[in-house]
Amino acid sequence: MKKVARRESILNSVIELLAVRGLEGVTHRAVDEIAKLPQGSTTYYFPKKALLLIAASQHLAELLEKDCDELQVGFAEKAAKCGLCAAVEYVAEELVTYTDASRHLFLARMELTMAAARREELADVGEKLTAAARRPIEFFLKLISEGREDVPIETCAGLIDGITLMYATGQGPKPTTDQVATVFRSIL
């Protein structure tokens, strides 16, 4: 396995461990096991757990950003073909589907955000992950509000983010397309 692929495998394994076992379940040995790498591989790349967690949070933010880019393309295509209302419905459906399909990313984000609140060496991790996760929501809110200053973008993004996080953590019902679309439509 090439160095870049091995590093990515390690970081994906950290995200999986965070989602399944939580922060305390992330050890160098456990990461090597999940990544199916020889013992000591993770330590070679990331000698300290804090370095491993920081790299995993950067990787997680990149995954969230990539998903946002794909969503933007789909929105633009739907808006061009079917109009803004259909595009809003499309985004709402995609966000609800994403909540199920990417539950492990939500859980890993929560674990890292909580760790950032308690560990000085991870101080800015929570902010970066929240910004990356809310980016698609904020993008669409700004787009459909046509840049109006009176639109509470952060409030709406926080509402959608909260609904999805509650579901991902088992604390709330599955969000519906109508719930998400209602938040979007409220600013049209």
Checking if the pLDDT of 17 tops 90, the result is yes
- Which class for 103: exposed (0-12), middle (13-18), buried (19 or more C-beta within 10 A)? middle
The chain-wide mean pLDDT, for the chain, equals 91
> Percent of the chain having pLDDT more than 90?
59
Cβ partners under 8 Å of residue 141, min gap 6: 151, 153, 156, 157, 184, 187
Q: Which of 108, 81, 87, 122 is nearest to 169 (CA)?
A: 108
Asked if residues 108 and 151 have their Cβ atoms less than 8 Å apart, the reply is no
The pLDDT score that the predictor gives to residue 143 is 82
Contacts of residue 61, defined as CB under 8 A and 6 or more positions apart, other chains included, come to 128, 129, 131, 132
Residue type, 56: A
Give yes or no for residue 114 having a pLDDT over 90: yes
CA distance 154 to 164: 15
CA-CA distance, 106 to 177, in Å (whole number)? Answer: 18
Strands, E assignment, 92-157: none
Tell how far CA 123 is from the center of its chain: 18
Read off the pLDDT of residues 26-57 as tens digits, 9 standing for 90 and up.
999 999 999 999 999 999 999 999 999 999 99
pTM score, whole prediction: 0.86
Domain boundaries, the chain: 3-185
Percent of the chain exceeding pLDDT 70 equals 100
Please calculate the CA angle 156-159-161 and round it to the nearest 5 degrees.
Answer: 110
Find the mean pLDDT for residues 69-83: 86
pLDDT at 141 over 90: no
pLDDT of 137 higher than 90:
no
Q: Which CATH architecture has domain 3-185?
A: Orthogonal Bundle (1.10)
Check whether 1 has a pLDDT greater than 80.
no
What is the per-residue pLDDT for 40?
Answer: 96
The mean per-residue pLDDT over the stretch 11-23 comes to 97
Residue 69 has pLDDT above 80, yes or no: no
Q: Sorting pLDDT into bands at 50, 70 and 90, what band is 124?
A: very high
